[in-house]
Chain A
Amino acid sequence: MSSKQLTITTRQKKDTFYNIVAAVVLLMWALPAIWIIFTAFRPGNEVNVTPPVWIPQKITLDAFLSLFGFNPDIAAGVPVWNYMWNSTRVAVLNTVFSVALGTMAGYAFSRFKFRWSSTIFLLIMLSRSVPGVALSLPLFLLMRNYGLIDTVQGLAFVYVAINIPFTAWLMDGFFRQIPQELDEAAYIDGCSHWSAFWRIDLPLALPGMAAASIFAFLASWNEYQIASIITKTPAAKTFPVGLYDFTSQFTVDWRGMAAMSVLMMVPAIIFVILTQRSMVQGLTFGAIKG
């Protein structure tokens, strides 16, 4: 019938309209990021040109080589290796401990109703709402006395405290999805609480722990406020602080800064691509299952 044909075309038109608008919006949104990535790989004469050269004519790794000090003409002004090494150490320490402790806490909250459990849970959640700057000031004063300023361990210690709440919250939700009958069966078979946790619940919660690890790793990799106050020298300075130093030091070398930015994004890009689906799940599991 002619009216049916009309409806199909209008729907197709509507669909293509939505598709196009969505594509435009998303491209616009990704534009700043794309621009930085392009610039990091450009030859020097394409940067800062008016009118702007949109698509890079040549791809070079020059900017990165200069950054790492491989370029014989330009002296490396920034200890990029230190920054990466420090950031990696801090992030790994933070991830391991905050996920371990957070998982234990999440399990406790999900299964057991003990006295003050809701108060403690609220306290832990509230502690996450303290902004980094507010925390960094007294931390600086206190850590001075213990010689923890400008150490990777000190910074990681702080990060663990900051990341436990989110991990615990995440794992609490995950553990609630694991049926308690499995634990019960284990108890009947003679398991203690701990071995039931270790052998039954933990293996099933590995996807949740993976998601939590990624959040913890990225949180520590990207953190600036506390790191800027607690670390002083390249012995412990992390990448975000290094980037800030670079931008204030080399306000002319935009390409170098772009290269540094790309380096900083590498772990995040890897993780996001690998876990695109499960990240959405991780953020919304509570609401969907109800």
Chain B
Amino acid sequence: MTNANSVPASSQTSTSRKTNFYSSQKYFPLFLIAPSLLIIGLVIIYPMLYSTYVSFTPFHLLRPEETFVFATDTMFRNYVRLFGNDVFWRSLFNTVIFLTLSVNISFLLALAISQLLARVTKGQSMMRTLLMVPMMFAPVLVGFQFAWFFNATVGLVNNALLSLGILSEPKPWLVDEPTGMMGIIIASIWMNVPVMSIILLAGTLSLPRDVYEAATVDGAGSWQQFRHITFPLLQPFIIIALTVLSLDIARAYDIVRIMTGGGPAHRTEMIWTYAGRLAIRNSQFGMASAMSMIGVVLGVLFTLYLFRQLMKSREAYQ
């Protein structure tokens, strides 16, 4: 407080006093943060800890006498059972395939579209609005829309392909083997690319022009310019876009549930849909919690991997 009274008018000397003044306050910031921490602790941290605990018990919703039987020798029974479960491995496989394809294709497409839109001269605002249309869709809605599109009897895809003569009979896209997963990936890409494109577009438009002009004078072609100027300078935006993407991958749950429900014979089952099914249909909350723990670990690892790649490519360009 004494610092505030003696702060001179010039901003130079007050900088060090500013940081001093703000860092000397211990209680006010905590008071501001406390309610948020309380709610997050109650709703997220405690339940996740509880879920970890439950994953080590044979908790079954309809058989309460078995609940909370925490015995150290049977602690890992859920996990052991899971690792012996074929459906579990299938859903793990599906999840990895889905994540890899969806993230990579979405990112590349978004990059390409952002570069394309950056060169558009007329009606950019209108283009941006069009691009934002998929953002208005809830994930359930996206899932429903593509479920309808790919529907064997009334879907637009079959309808169009049949009328054009490309198909001779309706193809059950969402039921067949790779096409079911492809449909889900397409839905996910459709949903994610616009947001990423807009972020990358904003980044591209904010880059300084003179660097490009100098490069053109030096004889660099467009691909070279992209690789050595645009891409490195876009790093911060790429990080934002990938963060948005990785945190939204869990939205795939909505899409899968409404499009295939896990697919006939678990063809499109993901870790999340299987965990949800174990909990709701079979009331096996113990197993479901174990699965979701594995899923969370997987998600964290995946995000770490993403960022490790980013940091590596950052260093390569510096």
Contacts and interface: CB of A to CB of B under 8 A. Distances in A.
Interface of A: 14-15, 18-19, 21-23, 25-27, 29-30, 32-33, 35-36, 48, 50-52, 101-102, 104-105, 107-109, 111-115, 117, 120, 123-124, 127-142, 157-158, 160-162, 164-165, 168, 180-181, 184, 187-188, 193-194, 221-225, 229, 240, 243-244, 247, 254, 257, 261, 264-265, 268-269, 272-273, 276, 279-280, 283-284, 286-288, 290
A257 B44 contact: no
B35 interface: yes
Contact of B163 (A30, A50, A161): A50
B130 A188 contact: no
Interface in B134-186: 134-141, 144-149, 154, 156, 159-160, 162-163
A181 B113 CA distance: 41
Contacts of B194: 29
Nearest to A116: B30
Interface of B is mostly: helix
B40 A26 contact: no
Most buried by B among A35, A51, A133, A269: A133
Contacts of A127: 40, 44-45
Which interface class (under 10, 10 to 19, 20 to 34, 35 or more) fits B? 35 or more
A117 B29 contact: yes
Nearest to B43: A161
A57 to B, nearest CB: 17
B138 A264 contact: yes
Interface string B243-265: 01011001001100110000000
B71 interface: no
Contact of B23 (A102, A112, A272, A279): A112
A132 B258 contact: no
Interface in B18-33: 18-19, 21-23, 25-26, 28-30, 32-33
B54 interface: yes
Interface in B78-131: 113, 116-117, 119-123, 125, 127-131
A272 B135 CA distance: 8
Interface stretch (B199-207, B210-218, B308-316): B199-207
6 contacts: A29-B133, A50-B163, A107-B32, A137-B288, A184-B4, A194-B28
Contact of B40 (A14, A113, A164): A164
B133 to A, nearest CB: 5
Interface in B47-91: 47-48, 50-51, 54
Nearest to B37: A120
A123 B236 CA distance: 22
B253 A131 contact: yes
Contact of A124 (B40, B119, B154, B300): B40
B119 A134 contact: no
Contact of A287 (B136, B140, B237): B237
Interface string B1-21: 000110100010010001101
Nearest to B148: A254
Contacts of B242: none
